[in-house]
Chains A and B, each alone.
Chain A
């Protein structure tokens, strides 16, 4: 993602930005398929954006919001979209959107978009872009809470690939302009954007401080960090000044405004800017504590002499090189290490005396249990295989009709001569073939698919009713993805 000015680079960046919005569009695309509610009434993408808003606003240095808090904050917004629906449904919609933004159900809980780019040799290569919108993290107390990723914040504020600090300054200049011109609705938007920027800036700093706490040596404390802290402090100082000025201006605007809606907007703006100032204060206190963190960690990590005898540097010589290896190559070193580092497993040998005493031991008292487990009434398991393999094979041979289409009545009659069960199976498969899933057949790599056509002839049969279908096997052409039917009337069906 380094800005080398390569035109392909810009294309890849735009494709990635576009990919980040895909999960939101996907929500609306899939809402009609939900079976627990008619969810078409909800604007899922809006709810999705609102969810990311809520998570972002709840983010501060230590924790974000947990799932339930986010759902609770979403409810008024969702209820406004469908006031007639039950609260349980609103909750479920909120959960569904939240789960989909996390992408619960996949191992990595994230999204992947494949995009193409031309590499140095001029070849077109498909590459994978992995991203997440909301991530779950564990708090020190073990609770799981949510945070919005950089990608999500970028999607949200619509300012892709911009520098955090300059974007913040730009937003604030814009805000002052807007206020001076009296356009408060736009001013609110800009103020909210400024707040997201503040959160993003704090997040960057938090990651740096965390790294310091984890390993002092991974951070350059001689130059880089002091510069960073200075920059952050002066940044806060300037923001603090301008935000206080803005606050004074809009508080005045609020008090002087005659129009009630304008007054209300100004009041909202006062809240937002107040929140920005609070966040800056929080950031500042964290910055002040950073030096103490460093000294404490230094005491713990750093004070010891240089290496006295040769030993392997596990982190630098083993872990980092292994992390850089491709997955296929990394198997050997990690396995070798695992084998050697986990010691030995002593195979358990059952001993007869202990087995006997174990068996003779009286059953433990179950005082702590709630009560007796009710004896469940079990029904005998239903036989799922209604037809034997033999019957399936016979039906297969009957329904293998590569050349000439046949009537269902004739097939049933032929099947009935041997077995009434086969006749039923043939009739069922003929019905199934009336709406053949050609796409599924292609995916499963089948070579032919059975097609049925209704030409209006009624079926004369003592056991079955309906239309006397015309049946025909059609070859599936996998190479071009279409079903190459034979030259009979079957094409109309497919």
Chain B
């Protein structure tokens, strides 16, 4: 695209990117935003220009649509990147840092797993999921319980080795962490899994990925199209690639997958 862009085009493209940085703003609620989203869909040179502006800022355009708006992601080492270290830093406890990070990551994974229980839900643009603090914690605990049952059924002793804590399986660390704990001021302790889930859901709603619908079950939220795009286009693949490099390959619909749509059980 060597065709000349006017400075007005560049401004419009940059404005579209800046709209994408306000995650709670939707094209349906803002005329200018809606117009830019429409132009992005129709004008391929404007689309390329937007991508170029985003790339220059250290951003990636995942999708631009009327439902989700402009969904952006940070490239590596970008100033827009959210570091796990700064997210997990708030914990005051001297627990091993890695455990803390893994637990936070698992909770975010479980939120997506509950929001989009089937592959189809993730693929279907009109699907809106519901998650709550109680359910997210419940989903992980249930998975931990099944893994525990499987470990108990397996031959040999599967209890973790006392001298190699880093080899302990992640589900044991989660299962061991209490779900709730009474605190002096009656608030949810942030060291508990429910406290961590509540924090993750609040965080995601600030990012425009979830919208709180009620305070039931510790806080109930619905997913937004933006979250779906983010998980589908980027996050799931990123985690999947990491698992592949570790040699963990799972086939959808196999016995290992609890969420695979299995019509036999109807």
Interface residues of A (CB under 8 A from B): 1-2, 4, 8-9, 12, 67, 104, 107-110, 114, 117, 119-120, 125-130, 132, 135-138, 140, 142, 144, 207, 210-211, 214-218, 220-222, 298, 301-302, 304-347
Contacts and interface: CB of A to CB of B under 8 A. Distances in A.
A323 B265 contact: no
Contacts of A120: 156
A370 B266 CA distance: 61
B130 to A, nearest CB: 9
B73 A343 contact: yes
Question: 6 tightest CB-CB pairs across the interface, nearest first?
Answer: A334-B105, A316-B257, A341-B235, A340-B235, A337-B239, A138-B180
A217 B262 contact: yes
Interface string B131-175: 000110011101111110000111111011111011111111110
Interface string B226-265: 0000111011111111110110101011101111111111
Contact of A343 (B147, B166, B209, B265): B209
B194 A138 contact: yes
10 contacts: A108-B178, A127-B159, A138-B134, A312-B119, A313-B257, A315-B143, A324-B147, A330-B106, A343-B209, A346-B80
Interface stretch (B34-42, B44-52, B91-99): B91-99
A281 to B, nearest CB: 27
A340 B73 contact: yes
Given A119-B157, A138-B180, A319 B123 contact: no
B66 interface: no
B101 interface: yes
Tell me the interface secondary structure of chain B in the complex.
helix
Which of A107, A315, A324: most chain B CB closer than 10 A?
A315
B157 A12 contact: yes
B239 A344 contact: no
B10 interface: no
A143 to B, nearest CB: 9
B123 A308 contact: yes
Given A318-B240, A327-B96, A343-B208, 11 more contacts: A110-B176, A114-B162, A138-B194, A221-B265, A304-B121, A305-B120, A315-B117, A323-B106, A327-B166, A335-B101, A344-B78
Contact of A317 (B81, B162, B170, B250): B250
B82 A2 contact: no
Contacts of A313: 118-119, 252-253, 257, 259-260
Contacts of A222: 264-265
A319 B250 CA distance: 11
Given A2-B155, A321-B248, A327 B168 contact: yes
Contacts of B265: 216-217, 220-222, 302
Nearest to B208: A343
A1 B152 contact: yes
Contact of A338 (B108, B116, B154, B266): B108
A342 B157 CA distance: 38
B162 A126 contact: yes
A381 B8 CA distance: 63
Nearest to A321: B248
B122 interface: yes
B155 A4 contact: yes
Contact of B239 (A114, A308, A318): A318
A316 B256 contact: yes
Given A114-B162, A322-B170, A323-B143, A340 B234 contact: yes
Contacts of B182: 67, 136, 144
A4 B218 CA distance: 42
A318 B236 contact: yes
Contacts of B165: 327
B119 to A, nearest CB: 4
A151 to B, nearest CB: 13
B72 interface: yes
A344 to B, nearest CB: 4
B176 to A, nearest CB: 5
A63 B80 CA distance: 45
B7 interface: no
Interface string B81-95: 110100100000101
B6 interface: no
Contacts of A12: 157, 159
Contacts of B248: 321, 324-325
Contact of B139 (A215, A216, A340): A215
Contacts of B74: 339, 344-345
Interface string B184-195: 000010010010
Given A332-B242, A334-B239, A310 B123 contact: yes
Contacts of A126: 161-163
A320 B143 contact: yes
Contacts of B87: 338, 342
Contacts of B171: 323-324
Interface centre among A125, A129, A326 (most CB of B within 10 A): A326
Contacts of A330: 102, 105-106, 170
B31 interface: no
